[in-house]
Amino acid sequence: MPHRPGGSRDCRRTIIEPVQELAIPHDVSPAGRYVSVSIGSASVTASDDLAADDLVLAAERALSQAKIGGCKRLVVEDDVAQPWLA
């Protein structure tokens, strides 16, 4: 997705905002009155130095950062250049 115009950043317009507009009640959530979406995304340019697990770990890290940031967040790790280590 890094070489596609908009790439994963389109998620805000196509997923996060439409869910927010639905205003689905979420009465038991401490985060807010309505259902919201947080997204973590990662992309990579193909390389022999990177394994699929590296991309998955980068996406998991981005999702974790989005959740920590609060409701309606999009965190993108573009073009992961090296393995992410915990």
Helix, strand, or coil (residue 43): coil
Residue 83 lies in a domain: no
The reported pLDDT for the residue numbered 86 is 40
Nearest C-alpha neighbor of 34 from the set 17, 13, 11, 58 = 17
Residue 48 lies in a domain: yes
The pTM for the full model equals 0.71
- State residue 42 phi and psi, 5-degree precision: -145, 150
**Count of domains for the chain:** 1
pLDDT tens digits for range 29-77: 887 889 989 888 888 777 777 788 888 888 999 999 998 888 888 888 8
What range defines the domain where residue 35 resides?
7-77
* Residue the block writes with tokens 């974790």: 64
Residue 86 lies in a domain: no
